[in-house]
Copies of this chain bind each other. A is one copy, B any other.
Amino acid sequence: MSVTPYKTLETRFARLGAVQDATAMLQWDSATLMPAGGAASRAEQLATLKVVCHEILTDPAMADLIAGAEAQNDLDQWQRANLAEMERLRLHATAVPADLVAALSKACSACEMRWREARPAGDFAAVLPELRHVLELVREVAAAKATRLGRSPYEALLDEYEPGGSTAAIDRLFDNLAAMLPGLIDRGLERQARRPAPLPLPGPFSVEAQRRVGMQLMERLGFDFKHGRLDVSLHPFCGGTPDDVRLTTRYDEADFGRALMGVLHETGHALYERGLPEAWRRQPVGNARGMSIHESQSLLVEMQACRSREFMEFAAPLLRKAFHGVGPAWEAENLYRLNTRVARSLIRVDADEVTYPAHVILRYRLERAMIAGELAPADLPAAWNEAMRSLIGIVPDSDRDGCLQDIHWYDGAWGYFPTYTLGAMTAAQLFDAAKRAEPRLLPGIAHGNFAPLLAWLREHVHQKGSRYSTAEIVTQATGRPLDAKTYERHLEARYVAD
């Protein structure tokens, strides 16, 4: 009995998936436990595994195998979707000549290294030559991918993070939001000023107590410690594999809220990974759909579910017990207010739920302009500050707190930024649909029962893997395409309504 082209492809992609899983574990180790002296040797390991993956995807036989599988008439819908994902991955891998890939990788390393010095010094000029070089090569990559994928250059970059993402759709959503955000921020701050300030929580909070309560909440949300861990890293992330999800956080003994909300955020990512369709492990169709859906899962858990009044009602007694808290500062309403404060801020990663999308829209517009060749890197600081003024109403004194703050562009991650706010919009629309479908959902959260929420997410998002497009998943789950309205209503209700 001969093996069909499709079966051959499944075998090859299973190998790719296993090597990618191995890579994910080693990256987790690099960020959490690896001693500094192991870095060079680890870089060799990761680079080698990357080459192994690249060779699988660029094997000259692959195109024929995919064409052969496409001609098979015995494939079901999951297999067809798997095949489409295989072809998408192959196109990305083969679109760019190897020497351009190598040149970009080298340019990014050099630029990132320079950025690490330039940022604390606020010295944009010091990194400008390297940034120019990165942008030049990224534009070459974008042009090469655009031709192969039949998309615009920016969309070709975006496609790596947000498969099928379209700038027309993003522009519509973001323009809408950008028009209402400055007013929303103003009104949110006015309301906040009219009310008494929330009471601060007196620390310190021991790392061990923070870790314990974090794990307790993770478990309540549905995280299974037989299939994952919580550790510490400088930059919190969710790594590992669907069967062994590795969350990280970092602790500040003066403020437990940051680590805790970070843990809840990463738990959203983790539940998604863990809930991906088990029958399709290590196949492209079994992977997470893209970064906007991924971010929707973390933001749904953190922002929609866990910064709600209902969650605070459930969490308040737990937190009092964990940190021996007494007095009115530990009441649910005060905790809710502490966790929904608004402030005009310069730094994206410190921003609250209301100002965050403004930070993202700014970056999206600027990176599109740079990819289009309409904005030169030399003009970035001025353009940045102007956009900050109009969207958030403040301007940084130094590029350190402006266009030098994020690693993305300096490290070659162009086309990533919009997924944060697409994720936030998606989270709002999914949570709204889940609440309508499951009347027990919000009351359940108030009692620490997250099962209805998780069951809904499993069925409508997690289990779908990459079987459908992002747009299809949102439409199937919520009954309509993604729009900004539910998100805007959520922000209005939480931050502006009296």
Chain A residues in contact with chain B, CB under 8 A? 14-15, 18-19, 21-22, 25-26, 29, 33-38, 40-42, 44-45, 47-49, 51-52, 224-229, 240-244, 281-282
Contact = CB atoms under 8 A, between A and B. Distances in A.
A51 B243 contact: no
Contacts of A38: 227, 240-241, 243-244
A33 B244 CA distance: 11
Contacts of A243: 37-38, 40-41
Given A226-B35, A229-B33, A282 B18 contact: no
Contacts of A281: 41
Instruction: Give 8 closest A-B pairs by Cβ, nearest first.
Output: A38-B244, A18-B48, A37-B227, A41-B243, A37-B226, A22-B45, A18-B44, A18-B45
Number of this chain's copies in the complex: 2
5 contacts: A29-B29, A35-B225, A35-B228, A38-B227, A41-B242
A25 B52 contact: no
B229 A35 contact: yes
Contacts of A42: 25, 244
Contacts of A241: 38, 41
Contacts of A44: 14, 18, 21, 282
Contacts of A14: 44, 48
Nearest to A224: B37
A29 B25 contact: yes
A38 B243 CA distance: 5
Contacts of A229: 33, 35
Nearest to A40: B243
Contacts of A226: 35-37
A119 to B, nearest CB: 25
Contacts of A18: 44-45, 47-49
Nearest to A231: B33
A244 B227 CA distance: 26
Nearest to A282: B44
A432 to B, nearest CB: 33
Given A21-B45, A25-B45, 14 more contacts: A19-B45, A19-B52, A21-B41, A22-B45, A25-B29, A35-B228, A35-B229, A37-B224, A37-B226, A37-B228, A38-B241, A38-B244, A40-B243, A41-B281
Contacts of A244: 34-35, 37-38, 41-42
A433 B436 CA distance: 81
Nearest to A36: B226
Nearest to A45: B22
A26 to B, nearest CB: 6
Nearest to A44: B18
A38 B226 CA distance: 8
Contacts of A21: 41, 44-45
A226 B48 CA distance: 23
Contacts of A240: 38
A48 B15 CA distance: 6
Contacts of A49: 18-19, 22
A301 B226 CA distance: 38
